[in-house]
Amino acid sequence: MKRVIFLLSILGALLAESCNTQKSLNDVQVQIPFEEHVPYSFEHLTDPAVWITFNTTAEMKEACQLPEVWLKNMTTENLIITCMNYPLLLNYGVYQNNMDGVKAVVNGFNGFQELSRRADAPEKLMSFYKNLQLQDSFDALREKAFIEHNSIFKIGFLELYFAAGYIPSLFEDDICEILKEDVERKLEEKLKKSNVYSLNAINSSLVVNSAIKVNSGNHSFSQVEIDELDEFVKGGGSMSPEKLSNISKILFK
């Protein structure tokens, strides 16, 4: 009987600790008062003294969810900035298939889920993407300001996010043409600076370009070519050099 009581006391302590952890996560979230004209800040979480207390990625995700008052009242511009500042955003890069990584990040953060419901998301996303700058050298890529605000990894994430189809209206009418022009402009810049930007950085532009051409319906591709482009998109650009060369020929024939 004493052993049972002892085990129950341990279980009770573990449950209490679990409740305290949940409460502390909630407290961390709600202590940030809503401000109308600014994006949500994660600095209170990414402070090393706080971040190190999270034991699992699941705990990090839970702590980073946006409080309801911020989620529903932020402007779309600030919501986009908040999403791109999400502390776990760059986790997509650790997946063998970067498209799977993007989907895992998006599906694990309520900010992206809210963004997909905003009617003005396509227009605001286009403006944000257009203003992201590519740099001319490795030194510029390593600058703190660029890493924080215009990281090539963030550009790559956004291109794969577009290609994943979370905002279907991006592939419709005039907005699709704007997206196509902006993507091709960035692709051209990356190719000119191939000594700076890796194949992965170039691939993300090719992936979204493929998604645009297939989903817009404005193309003369054969079914075989469409299937190849679709496979390329689903794979997040991960292909052998031979297949990648064939994709380029299809896109720019």
pLDDT at 123 over 90: yes
Taking residues 157-182, what's their average pLDDT?
93
Measuring CA to CA, which residue among 113, 91, 111, 110 is closest to residue 102?
91
User: What pTM was computed for the model?
Assistant: 0.82
pLDDT at 199 over 90: no
Looking at residue 11, its pLDDT comes to: 38
Compute CA 12 distance to the chain's CA centroid, rounded to the nearest angstrom.
39
Better pLDDT: 151 or 51: 51
Measuring CA to CA, which residue among 106, 251, 142 is closest to residue 187?
251
DSSP 37-57: TS----HHHHSHHHHTT--SH
Kindly state the percentage of the chain with pLDDT values over 70.
Answer: 81
Taking residues 120-128, what's their average pLDDT?
95
Place 134 in a pLDDT band, splitting at 50, 70 and 90: confident
Looking at residue 194, its pLDDT comes to: 80
Looking at residue 136, its pLDDT comes to: 60
Q: What is the pLDDT of residues 23-34, one digit of tens each?
A: 444 455 446 788
Looking at residue 108, its pLDDT comes to: 97
Q: What is the pLDDT of residues 242-252, one digit of tens each?
A: 888 889 889 88
How far CA 51 is from CA of 57, 64, 98, 133, in Å, comes to 11, 11, 25, 29
Instruction: Report H helices in 170-222.
Output: 173-192, 199-216
Q: What is the pLDDT of residues 52-72, one digit of tens each?
A: 999 999 999 999 999 999 999
Looking at residue 148, its pLDDT comes to: 53
